[in-house]
């Protein structure tokens, strides 16, 4: 599974065509998972595939453009104090990242497949899920 990154844009760099740069200058394959970018800036979540040296160089280049980049390893916080293991999140997740443990019937969230879409947030009746972006 490709590593995912959060890119934060500001007014000065919001016009940069990140996907084009990654493909043409660094031979990196971007997959934009989520983007909320307006004329004064915003946030994009993308994964990058390809040669790891190229990805490192690509990240340095993007940072040079003033785009702040953070590696994402956890997108959804699940509060065990609030979760009641009902399962309301399971069938609404497009990447099937929530699963029942077949022994304990507890909900397990696979971060490696989560794409931070947020579909689960409004499905949870105990507000146990929070998106970390």
Enumerate binding residues for other proteins (CB under 8 A): 84-92, 96, 99-100, 104-106, 119, 122-123, 125-127
Q: Give the Cα separation of 77 and 109 in Å (integer).
A: 9
- Residue placing its CB nearer to other proteins in the complex, 54 or 95: 95
Pick from 98, 86, 91, 99: nearest CA to 126: 86
Residue 98: strand, helix, or coil:
strand
- Residue placing its CB nearer to other proteins in the complex, 15 or 105: 105
- Residue placing its CB nearer to other proteins in the complex, 70 or 96: 96
Q: Give the Cα separation of 133 and 126 in Å (integer).
A: 21
Minimum Å gap between C-beta 129 and other proteins is 12
- Residue placing its CB nearer to other proteins in the complex, 33 or 124: 124
Q: How far apart are the first and last CA of the chain?
A: 19
Minimum Å gap between C-beta 110 and other proteins is 14
Minimum Å gap between C-beta 118 and other proteins is 12
Minimum Å gap between C-beta 14 and other proteins is 30
Beta strands in the chain (DSSP E): 3-10, 29-38, 41-49, 68-72, 76-78, 98-100, 107-109, 129-131
């Amino acid at each position: 599974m490709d590593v995912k990154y959060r890119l934060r844009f500001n007014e000065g760099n919001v016009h940069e065509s990140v996907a084009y740069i990654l493909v043409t200058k660094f031979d990196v394959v971007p997959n934009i998972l989520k983007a909320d970018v307006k004329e004064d800036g915003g946030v994009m979540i993308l994964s990058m595939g390809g040669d790891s040296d190229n990805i490192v160089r690509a990240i340095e280049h993007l940072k040079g453009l003033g785009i702040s980049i953070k590696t994402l390893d956890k997108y959804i916080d699940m509060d065990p104090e609030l979760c009641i293991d009902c399962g309301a999140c399971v069938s609404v997740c497009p990447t099937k990242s929530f699963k029942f443990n077949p022994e304990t019937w507890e909900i397990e969230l696979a971060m490696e497949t989560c794409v931070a879409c947020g579909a689960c947030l409004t499905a949870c009746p105990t507000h146990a899920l929070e998106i970390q972006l």
